[in-house]
């Protein structure tokens, strides 16, 4: 048939197209295997999900990863009705056009699928066969498409990030489904880790298998055939064994006490001698006795869940480095491998939560491909932990725990806002917060923030849209339907300000343009915006309470214009400061919750923890003994500053004056929409 084939990366925000791709993948699941929804989103985020469309209809896709100058092809899928028409070749050509500087493409496929003719037609060559890791251990063929670049290696040997030996408990966990560590250990065999994780058997493991009798021995012998053999260096292994033993006896004087201890020592020393960088075990005694010395020699002793995290650490090292939270002394980063124990201190024991269950949940989330974030205070003390997983347009917060302390309430509200920001960045329009063992203060803060209580979770809508009430209602109804939630209330046009402000808080970042909600363009000097709004980021950290708070106060001299609340604020930085250069521009949007007028000393005493002015500055701004305080929340920094010349053009296009504001200036809804659209454009 005649058609126009278009191949291009999928935009993660195009949920409709994403759903079509996932549906096509589900149809092909018997041959492609299961892939978590989060993997599709991650590939789209990385621009490594190519979609082929013919006359607007999805007819195929290629999902791949980029690892050390090699391309890992995870899915190459063509709709049944479009096969034999060049779709697969077009997708492979699309990959090559975008990554011509890579060495080539690696793929693995079961031999019994009889797809060798297709791979050969696409230019791949066989590199070998080996038993698979699945239950039937079907043979897998390794395929390689070379891009013709010279390299010291052949195939994809350089793509392996972790070379890991396993011990007997991991091997038995694979075989015996009733063992406690069965599911966690199976994570090592996940298809998406195949080219990044290479698993080895050591002489120590072979020796331990030899001690077995009965059917279990035969099962173990068959299972280890799919593992590579660790390189042998007996002399080096003996030398390392002596070093490990010397370290262990300083903490455990009777080590080794058992035959199992002797096996463990042999396992770890032969793995180190073979040049491996990870040893996988669920034996805490082994980890305590041999782990510290092994790590000093370059090999981590990790649980299976931590191996999954370790691979992610090597691929996304920047995500595991601390990042200042709102430019304060608080910081956050992803929970690293081997750190699961630290979250136990945040268990909600008053609600019956056991610390070890919180640790288990964190490990399970890692195995399932979720994301675990920890927040540290000024003294590097753990103050919060949350775990996330995404399913389509729903961002699930499996766990949210905070420590006790004076800043807990402020930090809770900030993290709830950060979770909305994360949801928006990932094109998720529903936020689900697991309410099991949720701390009462967190639950109350979430409900105040617009979360609705359900039996096992709290739910909030994150509607990234600006428009009239009808369009906002349509967006939230679609989000509710997709997530299986009840349809929210209908919206009326020309909503009163208080109703519109509440809606924009509860469904943040939604903006309703046909409501009776005023928007003010408010000038602020950079000297104050850096500390108050967090933009531009200053050379010094912000005060912790001020930086973490979602609520702030801006003092100003009362003018003739009476400011009304609730309302919106667009912040206009009127002049540069003395630290970081910033041109005059509109840089952020906030919700104006209240306007207070009163004596300087009274308002400063009341709001000093929310503002940046000292009493002398507040007093200086007073007129007839009165000063004005604007109390605002939920500041969102624009991704793109609206410069003064650009603001003038937007205003003049609507027949309005584009003069810079000298004091708070009321602007019409159409101008607000134009500024907000452009400021938040990605």
Extract the tokens encoding 661.
């504001």
Region 134-160: mean pLDDT is: 66
Average pLDDT over residues 19-47: 87
Domains 5-154 and 320-462 share a fold: yes
Q: How confident is the model at residue 31 (pLDDT cuts 50, 70, 90)?
A: confident
Neighbour-count burial of 474, counting CB atoms closer than 10 A to its CB (0-12 exposed, 13-18 middle, 19+ buried)? middle
Tens digits of per-residue pLDDT, 380-415? Answer: 899 999 999 999 899 999 999 999 877 788 899 999
Per residue in 514-546, pLDDT tens? 999 999 999 998 878 877 887 776 555 666 666
Tell which residue, 257, 203, 247, has the closest CA to residue 227. Answer: 203
Q: What pLDDT band is residue 207 in, cutting at 50, 70 and 90?
A: confident
- Poorest-pLDDT segment among 110-119, 231-240, 419-428: 110-119
Q: Hey, which CATH number is domain 320-462, 3.40.630.30, 1.10.287.1080, 3.40.50.150, 3.20.20.70?
A: 3.40.630.30
Which residues, 6+ apart, have CB-to-CB distance to 50 below 8 Å?
Answer: 7, 8, 9, 10, 61, 62, 91, 94, 95
What is the spatial distance between Cα 540 and Cα 327, in angstroms, rounded to a whole number?
8
d(CA 105, CA 101): 12
Residue bearing tokens 């066989």: 126
* Domain positions in the chain: 5-154, 162-311, 320-462, 519-679
**CATH tag for 162-311 (out of 3.40.50.1010, 3.40.1650.10, 3.40.50.720, 3.40.1380.10):** 3.40.50.1010
- Report the relative pairing of strands 585-598 and 627-643 from DSSP bridges: antiparallel
CATH architecture of the domain formed by 5-154: 3-Layer(aba) Sandwich (3.40)
On the question of pLDDT at 489 being above 60, the answer is yes
Please tell me whether the peptide bond between 398 and the residue prior to it is cis, using omega within 30 degrees of 0: no
What letter does residue 559 receive in the DSSP assignment? Answer: -
Check if the beta carbon of residue 342 is closer than 8 Å to that of residue 373. no
Domain 519-679 is classified in which CATH homologous superfamily? Answer: Hypothetical protein. (2.30.130.30)
**Cα 4 to Cα 547: distance, rounded to the nearest angstrom:** 53
């Amino acid at each position: 048939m005649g058609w126009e084939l278009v191949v291009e990366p999928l935009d993660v925000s195009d949920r409709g197209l994403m759903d079509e791709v996932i549906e096509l993948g589900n149809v092909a699941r018997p041959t492609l295997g299961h892939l978590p929804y989060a993997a599709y989103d991650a590939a789209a985020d990385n621009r490594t999900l190519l979609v082929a469309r013919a006359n607007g209809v999805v007819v195929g896709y290629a999902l791949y990863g980029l690892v050390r100058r090699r391309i890992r092809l995870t899915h190459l899928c063509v709709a049944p009705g479009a096969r034999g028409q060049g779709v697969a070749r077009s997708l492979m050509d699309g990959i090559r056009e975008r990554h011509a500087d890579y060495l080539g493409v690696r793929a693995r496929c079961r031999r019994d699928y009889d797809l060798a003719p297709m791979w050969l037609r696409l230019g791949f060559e066989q590199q070998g066969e080996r038993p698979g890791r699945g239950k039937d251990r079907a043979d897998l063929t390794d395929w390689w498409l070379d891009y013709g670049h010279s390299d010291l290696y052949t195939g994809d040997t350089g793509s392996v990030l972790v070379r890991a030996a396993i011990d007997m408990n991991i091997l038995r966990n694979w075989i015996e489904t009733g063992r406690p560590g069965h599911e966690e250990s199976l994570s090592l065999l996940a298809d998406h880790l195949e080219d990044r994780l290479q698993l080895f058997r050591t002489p120590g493991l072979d020796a331990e298998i030899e001690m077995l009798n009965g059917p279990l021995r035969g099962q173990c012998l068959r299972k280890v055939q799919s593992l590579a053999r660790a390189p042998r260096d007996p002399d080096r292994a003996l030398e390392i064994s002596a070093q490990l033993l010397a370290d262990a006896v300083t903490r455990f004087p009777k080590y080794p006490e058992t035959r199992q201890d002797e096996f463990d020592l042999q396992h770890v020393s032969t793995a180190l001698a073979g040049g491996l960088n990870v040893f996988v075990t669920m034996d805490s005694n082994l980890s305590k006795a041999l782990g510290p010395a092994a790590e000093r020699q370059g090999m981590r002793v990790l649980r299976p869940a931590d191996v999954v995290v370790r691979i992610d650490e090597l691929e996304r090292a920047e995500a595991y480095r601390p990042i200042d939270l709102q430019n304060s002394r608080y910081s956050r980063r992803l929970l690293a491998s081997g750190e699961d124990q630290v979250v136990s201190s945040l268990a909600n024991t008053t609600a019956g939560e056991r610390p070890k269950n919180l640790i288990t949940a964190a490990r399970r989330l890692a195995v399932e491909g979720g994301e675990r974030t920890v927040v540290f205070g000024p003294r590097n003390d753990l103050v919060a932990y949350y775990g996330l997983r995404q399913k389509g347009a729903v961002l699930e917060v499996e766990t949210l725990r905070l420590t006790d302390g004076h800043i807990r309430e402020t930090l809770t509200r900030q993290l709830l806002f950060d979770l909305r920001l994360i949801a928006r960045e990932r094109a998720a329009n529903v936020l689900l917060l697991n309410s099991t063992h949720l701390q009462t203060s967190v639950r109350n803060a979430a409900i105040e923030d617009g979360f609705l209580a359900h039996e096992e979770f709290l739910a909030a809508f994150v509607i990234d849209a600006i428009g009239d009430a009808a369009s906002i209602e349509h967006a939230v109804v679609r989000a509710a339907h997709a997530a299986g939630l009840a349809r929210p209330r209908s919206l009326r046009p020309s909503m009163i300000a208080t109703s519109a402000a509440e809606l924009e808080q509860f469904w943040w970042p939604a903006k309703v343009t046909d409501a009776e909600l005023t928007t003010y363009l408010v000038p602020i000097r950079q000297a104050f915006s850096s500390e108050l709004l967090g933009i531009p980021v200053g050379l010094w950290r912000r005060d912790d309470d001020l930086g973490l708070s979602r609520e702030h106060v801006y003092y100003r001299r009362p003018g003739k214009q009476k400011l009304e609340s609730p309302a919106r604020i667009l912040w206009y930085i009127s002049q540069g400061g003395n630290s970081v250069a910033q041109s005059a521009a509109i840089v952020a949007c906030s919700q104006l919750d209240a306007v207070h007028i009163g004596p300087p000393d009274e308002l400063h005493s009341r709001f000093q923890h929310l503002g940046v002015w000292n009493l002398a500055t507040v007093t200086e701004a007073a007129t007839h003994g009165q000063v004005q305080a604007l109390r605002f929340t939920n500041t969102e920094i624009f991704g793109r500053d609206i410069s003064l010349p650009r603001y003038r053009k937007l205003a003049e296009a609507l027949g309005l004056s584009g003069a810079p504001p000298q004091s708070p200036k009321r602007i019409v809804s159409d101008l607000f929409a134009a500024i907000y659209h452009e400021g938040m454009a990605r």
